[in-house]
Amino acid sequence: MTSCTDPSSPGTRPSLWRHRAWSDVTEYRVPSTRSRTSEVVLGCLRSVSVAGADLFGARHAAFEDEARALPDELAAGGSLVEETVFTVLLARRPGGAQ
């Protein structure tokens, strides 16, 4: 399964959790390498509202052609490789409160 989520979204920041009742926050960072095809990259683009087909009207096909060109060029017939860090936040309330 491929995720298209933004790792910088507010829910992923430990500092925000610490300001709430979850003061005992541990962050685990796991380096990861993943490969994606150009088609998967384009699929992620399709999943965000700013790239919705209805926003482009008659130009949508041209937009998708342009959006596909760069990943296709960079992948050179293969996959695009992304070096990333998978972050897990483990949050607990102090004193075992629920």
Provide the 8-state DSSP code for 11.
G
Q: What is the pLDDT of residue 32?
A: 92
**Can you spell out the DSSP letters for 18-86?**
HTTT--EEEEEEEEEEEEE-HHHHHHHHHTSGGG-HHHHGGGHHHHHHHHHHHHHHHHTTS-EEEEEEE
pLDDT, one tens digit per residue, over 55-90 is 888 998 898 888 888 888 888 878 888 899 988 888
Give yes or no for residue 97 having a pLDDT over 60.
no
pLDDT, one tens digit per residue, over 23-64 is 777 889 999 998 988 888 888 888 887 878 888 889 988 988
Can you give the pTM of this predicted structure?
A: 0.50
Q: What is the pLDDT of residue 82?
A: 87
CB 79 within 8 A of CB 36: yes
- Indicate the residue type of 36: R
